[in-house]
Amino acid sequence: MHIQFSQSRPQGARLIAHVVDKGKLPAATNAAMRAGAEAARFKGSAGQTFDGFVEDGGQVARLAIAGAGDRNDEARLANLEKAGAALAGKFQSTGDKDMVLDLSESSLSAEEASHLLLGLRLRNWRYDIYRTKLKDEQKVTLESITVVGAPEGIEGAWADAAALAEGVEFTRELITEPANIIYPESFVARCKERFEDTGAELIVLDEAEMEKLGMGSLLGVGQGSARESRILAIRWNGGGSEAPTAFVGKGVTFDTGGISIKPGPGMEDMKWDMGGAGAVAGGMLALVKRKAKANVVGVMGLVENMPDGNAQRPGDVVTSMSGQTIEILNTDAEGRLVLADALHWTQEEFQPKRIVDFATLTGAIIISLGHEYAGLFSNDDQLSKDLADAGEAVGDKVWRMPIGKAYDKLIDSPIADMKNIGGKAAGSITAAQFLQRFIADGTPWAHVDIAGMAWSDKPGRTWGKGATGYGVRLIDRLVSDTAEG
């Protein structure tokens, strides 16, 4: 979507939108529109819309009104995003290519206006490249927004918000693509294309290099696939000489469960089991595009988990890069095996000051938290607080869950250092407890289980059905709050 700013309203505009606070209507609203708004019980609540027709410059134009709620609501920025998203959702496929967004009566700050535009752009995103038989009324037509009456400073505020939008959209694209299009090598290629000429450094490890490093845990997951595994690191040095903040993502580009194969119904959803890696890629793109004044590295462990004659079996023992051995009891508990080596390599290679991993790791976290919060597990109270504060600010919410030595006995193995699953109890916790064994003493670490957040079966605040882009805004805000001066 193209967004531009203008001093005056373009002549002949067919669709004109206003955003109003609760209890208000635009001055241009005629008597018929006012009566219609009253009949429709339009009150200006956050995300509420109403539209009709007015005469504008001798022509009839469609006038759309979106509510932003109470001006003094503590959720003001989120409500403005809802207002923008509501406009996009309503007019995305109406045949209108251009929308004039008139902010001359809104008294918004540059920050507030940028959130309004962010909601509008993110909600308008849809990935239709494989849909060849859409009817005209089903196609996305809204292409551009002309903003008039924008507040001073909007260009700078929107530049940062646009970078964030690009990162969220990239994550959604990666997660939405089918597994025959996005697999470890093509994931890397897609990232190389997006990060070209940005100043970021991309580091790629192939299977031979990972084997030399002793990454038996990660490589074991991918050995049943015809697709080779990869490690991808994206490094951005924008903050001087301090140690970087590191983000690590689980990138299982398709998960059949391996020999412990999943049931057939719903298995197609496992194309988004690389949601953690997708979030890290999009988060890094947002940071790089806005030239974040911080040192950050994003690492993605990329594999495909398939069952063939070479696939690892339940009962196998693998040796991780850290030297710790793992008894494989269930090949469908593969994400933690990928992260084990990715986390260890990240610490050895980059010596980060903090490390946060993102993974669609367990179905158990959905049982615990549903689709409202990601599960947060951490060895550090300050990092947990920083993540919770950042998530609350941007809507990528997290809820802290416990870890502790009492859970270790659930993953102790009789023949190896550990096993890759516990019993039925505390499934998300034992997965996090497993990961903690690969974190060096003294390193602040957090694990964010996003299994319930990466994909949605219904529209949300700024997304339609499908990939949400969860994690990108959390990464961006955490860096902004804690790593930039």
Token pair listed for 172: 């959604």
Q: 269 among the known binding-site residues?
A: no
Q: From CA 413, how far away is CA 353, in angstroms rounded? A: 31
Q: Are 245 and 296 in contact (CB under 8 A)?
A: yes
Q: 380 among the known binding-site residues?
A: no
Handedness of CA 178, 181, 183, 187 (dihedral sign): negative
Q: Are 361 and 455 in contact (CB under 8 A)?
A: no
Token pair listed for 190: 């897609």
Catalytic (active site) residue 212: no
Closest CA to 219 of 313, 301, 309: 301
Q: 273 among the known binding-site residues?
A: yes
Cβ count within 10 A of residue 409: 10
Catalytic (active site) residue 194: no
Query: Which amino acid, one-letter code, is at 454?
Result: A
Q: From CA 203, how far away is CA 300, in angstroms rounded? A: 10
Q: From CA 221, how far away is CA 306, in angstroms rounded? A: 8
Cβ count within 10 A of residue 186: 18
Catalytic residue among 336, 397, 437, 477: 336
* Phi/psi at 293 (5° precision): -85, 65
Q: 250 among the known binding-site residues?
A: yes
Q: Are 259 and 314 in contact (CB under 8 A)?
A: yes
Place of tokens 């549903």: 370
Q: 397 among the known binding-site residues?
A: no
Instruction: Indicate the annotated binding residues for Mn(2+).
Output: 250, 255, 273, 332, 334
Instruction: Indicate the annotated binding residues.
Output: 250, 255, 273, 332, 334
Catalytic residues: 262, 336
